[in-house]
Amino acid sequence: MHPVRRTVVTAVLAVLSATAPFAGALVAVAYAPPAHVEIAGQDVSVKPVLGQDTSRLLDGALVRSEHAHVGFLGKDIGVDVDADWNRLIPSDKQTRAYLTALWDDPTPQIGRLQDAARRHLLLWGAVGFGTGLVAVSGVWAGLWYRRRRLSRLEPEQADVVRRHNRRLRWSTAVVGTAALVAVDVVAVDVWRHDDHHVVVSSPVFAGTTLEGTEVNGLASEVLPFLSILRPRSTFYDTAAANLEAALAERPSLQRTGDEVVFVLAEDFEDVNGMARQVGLAADEVDASFLAITGDLTFAGLAVETYIVDTVDYYSQNRPVYFTPGLHDTSVVIAAARARGWHVAEGRTVEADGLHLLLAPDPRLSTVGAFGSGNVLRDPEVDTDRLVSDTIDKACKEEPDFVLLHDHLLGRRIAEAGCQGVAVLDGRSFQFVGPQEVPTTSGPPAIEFTGGSTGGHVDTRPDPGTITHPARFAILTVQPDTGETSYAVVTVNPDASVTVTPEISLEMAYERFVSTGDTGLPLAPPGAQPGRP
């Protein structure tokens, strides 16, 4: 080949080789299939769009101004979100009531959409870049290998081989070059895409959860009349601020050293705002984990499972140990497992040095199927069998805590006296706290019964703002002595929040309320208050 021609060809190959990985990344991101996220039981597709400065739902039926801006690239990245319209706004009034709490605090789900878009962008960008790099590396490796093989031949033989392969060599070079050029052309088109849109907020949504959203097409005629849209309540925002302030006044609740701190809650029954408070409290005290003893939802429908994400979001994805209650169907359990929760299977697990025996309730409410009464999850396991099996396992393994949903069953297990510290249970509208339980042999045991964290006083679903005090507990265990204390967090219907000082697990909550005695020794001068 003529030297000038060879130089030009080499330069072209060098340029195409340098740009191929980056072009591959752009093309892969633009044409990869969308990511998928399950929100409230519905499959939602998420597609990042380079050069778009808005996020759009249902092909632009709803448009919002949220987007990312990558400064060093000088590019906007928006998101196209798609879902089943009929499931997004269901016609059933009760189902819409479950979704109200989700729309009132969509922050955790927005975070999941953002995470999905970010992972999608990085994953497919890396795939495209890697593919381009491998292709280019393969070409140059092939050229190097060919030149090396030819250098081992006699000049006459090498010349014969070159002439023999000339047509194949040129056709391969033309096809390869055309492919690289085509990828570059598509990549340039992707890079040049600019879709800037000024969002015109629809005034009809002022004061609702869709404030700041532009609504187009049929959606603009349908959405304003749906009962799911209501003025956004700031109740749980206020409660969260008050909770942070109340916990700041109790520095002794912060986890320090080797001690184990965990948050104990139960019976949310769709009160998403209280799931937020529980998760936030776990983050504020730097809890080792959360223990939830049942009834996350009311009907156990897929549309209610967003509450799992709320706990995770506000707790900063701390471990959760979950003992299903009567309202926690297989759908709810599957959602919890999919998020990495430790779901009770009647086995003892280790949690930050503590041993927890987690027992699922054997019964299942049929309210989600518009029935009444309960059925057994497993026809061969009733309440007597569960109690018997749990006692046998507790007496054999001697866990620190036994966790389950129903205090009536928990009392029977506590009476065996085989747990090291206490039985933790619930299914009580009233917060009871620790109680001494006489055992069949040995000293009394402790049963700790929580109340409704959703603030319920009956079994009617009420997923909105609480109308009665809602309580949960923060427990602290000293690993070297096993000494345990608890504090009670109360969120009141006026959004005020109170947090008790640490109380000895041997001190009844009722006695603390009446006397103010925590049952803990006074801290010596200079010591952290509330510590034994």
3-state secondary structure 77-127: EEEEEECCHHHHCCCCHHHHHHHHHHHHCCHHHHHHHHHHHHHHHHHHHHH
Among 22-26, 58-62, 335-339, 416-420, the range scoring the smallest mean pLDDT is 58-62
Residue 183 C-alpha from the chain's centroid: 37
Q: What is the pTM of this model?
A: 0.87
What span, in angstroms and rounded, lies between the C-alpha atoms of 288 and 476? 10
Tokens for 479, please give them: 């690993």
Same domain, 487 and 360: yes
- The reply to whether 527 falls in a domain is no
pLDDT of residue 224: 56
What span, in angstroms and rounded, lies between the C-alpha atoms of 291 and 309? 15
- The reply to whether 508 falls in a domain is yes
Judge contact between 351 and 289, C-beta under 8 A: yes
Cα within 13 Å of Cα(274), Cβ side: 36
- The reply to whether 530 falls in a domain is no
pLDDT tens digit string along 473-514?
999 999 888 899 999 999 999 999 999 999 999 999 999 999
Judge contact between 431 and 450, C-beta under 8 A: yes
DSSP 325: -
Same domain, 177 and 239: no
* Mean pLDDT taken over the chain: 88
Residue 473 dihedral angles phi and psi, to the nearest 5°:
-125, 155
Judge contact between 112 and 37, C-beta under 8 A: yes
Same domain, 183 and 276: no
What span, in angstroms and rounded, lies between the C-alpha atoms of 302 and 334? 10
Tokens for 195, please give them: 């879709």
Same domain, 291 and 165: no
- The reply to whether 526 falls in a domain is no
Q: Which of 192, 224, 257 is the last residue of a domain?
A: 192
DSSP 231: B
What average pLDDT does this structure show over 172-178?
76
The count of other CB atoms within 10 Å of the CB of residue 449 is: 25
Judge contact between 278 and 472, C-beta under 8 A: yes
If phi > 0 it is left, if psi is from -120 to 50 it is alpha, else beta; for residue 442 that is left
Under 8 Å CB-to-CB from 142, ≥6 apart: which residues? none
Same domain, 418 and 505: yes
Tokens for 219, please give them: 């959606």
Q: Using the Cα atoms of residue 330, residue 335, residue 340 and residue 341 in order, give the sign of their dihedral.
A: negative
Q: Which of 192, 209, 225 is the last residue of a domain?
A: 192
Bridge partners of residue 28, in order along the sequence: none
- The reply to whether 524 falls in a domain is no
Same domain, 354 and 429: yes
Structural domains of the chain, count: 2
Q: Which of 165, 192, 219 is the last residue of a domain?
A: 192
pLDDT tens digit string along 92-134?
677 777 777 887 788 899 899 999 999 999 999 999 999 989 9
pLDDT greater at residue 127 or residue 202: 127
Same domain, 14 and 149: yes
- The reply to whether 217 falls in a domain is no
Same domain, 250 and 369: yes
Same domain, 241 and 187: no
Q: What angle do CA 319, 428, 340 make, to 5 degrees?
A: 15
pLDDT of residue 531: 38
Same domain, 15 and 164: yes
What span, in angstroms and rounded, lies between the C-alpha atoms of 44 and 113? 9
Same domain, 71 and 125: yes
The position carrying tokens 């003025």 is: 231
| Residue numbers of the domain that contains 140 | 3-192
- The reply to whether 206 falls in a domain is no
CATH code, 313 = 3.60.21.10
- The reply to whether 205 falls in a domain is no
Same domain, 27 and 172: yes
Tokens for 192, please give them: 């040049």
Residue 14 has pLDDT above 80, yes or no: no
